[in-house]
């Protein structure tokens, strides 16, 4: 059932055209070029010894990071600061989301040594706030929930002072398997809603919007002390009213933290970019979201769900304390 080594070097197969050809939808675009990024979204990619050291450490332990697999624009900044989001359960996803640059195909067997590898790497990197995510594993009976559980426990055992954030798949059609992740008591339970419900058929064809909302709602029901978090991309073709409705849906699920970032089209074969949002539009969305009651909102062109996760967690804790104090006074 298990295979010890599931590591593969990042390759081009199962990405781009080979990935999107498997999608049960057709992307029609009159323009075969990706629109040039505006000045406010361009980032430099400094490669220094800190970045190279972290990459070597990840390769040595035969691990994967979503930073590399999803071509995150913030990779150099995060690597330079000694942080990374570990992607467990391999680097091949069973779904073909129109926005995503992670490879699609038949995953390899689960690496039973991965919990120890992740925990040891976090210790060597001296990470204060660890983010652990995964590809979708629809091929597994529990969607990978028990593996999340093992990684969290091992990380906690080896790094007692490190706070842990998980960014999970939706565990669609996996019953109550998600409860195993919550049982391990991560400090933050994150599941990204990604886009508005009207775009799900094109952008997330293997997922269901209200199932994702329900997952976040249930996580909070089971453990009120866990911070819940979700992320939304803009620029996919949604309108403002649809974005505001997502905010309302997430607040009804008692989600604490919302991230809003610009969609960046990975290739001409992925879901087409509709437009780039201006920085002032992100600020407006942040103000609206905060008025709806989120404990914390991060909204900017380069915001990603794990970007500055360590700083955001500290802010979440502070805001909860302030909220509790305010409620006790009133």
- What is the model's pLDDT at position 101? 87
- Cβ proximity of 47 and 76 under 8 Å: yes
Task: Express each pLDDT in 38-64 by its tens digit.
Answer: 888 866 655 666 666 666 776 777 776
Angle 22-265-275 (CA atoms, 0-180°, nearest 5)? 130
Nearest to 302 by CA among 231, 204, 248: 231
Task: Express each pLDDT in 9-27 by its tens digit.
Answer: 444 445 555 554 554 444 4
Residue 197: DSSP 8-state:
G
Task: Express each pLDDT in 162-209 by its tens digit.
Answer: 999 999 999 999 999 999 999 999 999 999 999 999 999 999 999 999
Higher pLDDT: 36 or 146? It is 146
Nearest to 156 by CA among 129, 196, 195, 191: 129
Mean pLDDT of 95-101: 93
Percent of the chain with pLDDT over 70: 77
Q: Report the C-alpha gap between 251 and 328 in whole angstroms.
A: 21
Task: Express each pLDDT in 99-142 by its tens digit.
Answer: 998 899 999 999 999 999 999 988 888 888 889 999 999 999 99
pTM to 2 decimals? Answer: 0.84
Q: Report the C-alpha gap between 63 and 75 in whole angstroms.
A: 16
* Fold (CATH) for 46-324: TIM Barrel (3.20.20)
Q: Which residues contact 86 (CB under 8 A, 6 or more apart)?
A: 63, 64, 65, 66, 118, 121, 122, 130, 131, 132, 133
């Amino acid at each position: 059932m298990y295979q010890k080594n599931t590591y593969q070097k990042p390759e081009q197969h199962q990405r781009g055209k080979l990935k999107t050809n498997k999608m049960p939808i057709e992307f029609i675009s009159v323009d075969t070029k990706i629109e040039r990024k505006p000045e406010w979204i361009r980032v430099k990619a400094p490669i220094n010894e800190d970045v190279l050291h972290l990459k070597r450490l990840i390769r040595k332990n035969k691990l994967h990071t979503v930073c590399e697999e999803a071509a995150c624009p913030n990779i150099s900044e995060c690597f330079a600061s000694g942080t990374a989001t570990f992607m467990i359960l391999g680097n091949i996803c069973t779904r073909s989301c129109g926005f995503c640059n992670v490879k699609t195909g038949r995953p390899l067997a689960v690496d039973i040594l991965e919990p120890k590898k992740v925990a040891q790497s976090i210790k060597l990197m001296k990470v204060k706030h660890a983010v652990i995510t995964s590809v979708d594993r629809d091929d597994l009976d529990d969607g990978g929930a028990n593996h999340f559980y093992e990684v969290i426990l091992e990380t906690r055992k080896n790094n007692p002072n490190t706070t842990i954030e998980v960014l999970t798949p939706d565990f669609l059609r996996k019953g109550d398997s998600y409860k195993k992740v919550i049982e391990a008591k991560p400090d933050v339970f994150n599941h990204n809603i990604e886009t508005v419900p009207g775009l799900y058929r094109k952008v997330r064809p293997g997922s269901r919007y209200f199932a994702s909302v329900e997952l976040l709602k249930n996580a909070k029901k089971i453990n009120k002390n866990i911070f819940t978090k979700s992320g939304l991309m803009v620029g996919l073709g949604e309108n403002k009213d649809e974005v505001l409705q997502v905010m309302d849906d997430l607040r009804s699920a008692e989600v604490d933290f919302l991230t809003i970032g610009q969609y960046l089209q990975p290739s001409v074969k992925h879901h087409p970019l509709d437009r780039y949002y201006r920085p002032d539009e992100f600020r407006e969305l942040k103000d609206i979201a905060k008025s709806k009651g989120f404990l914390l909102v991060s909204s900017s062109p380069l915001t990603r769900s794990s970007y500055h996760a360590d700083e955001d967690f500290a802010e979440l804790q502070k805001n909860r304390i302030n909220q509790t104090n305010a409620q006790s006074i009133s």
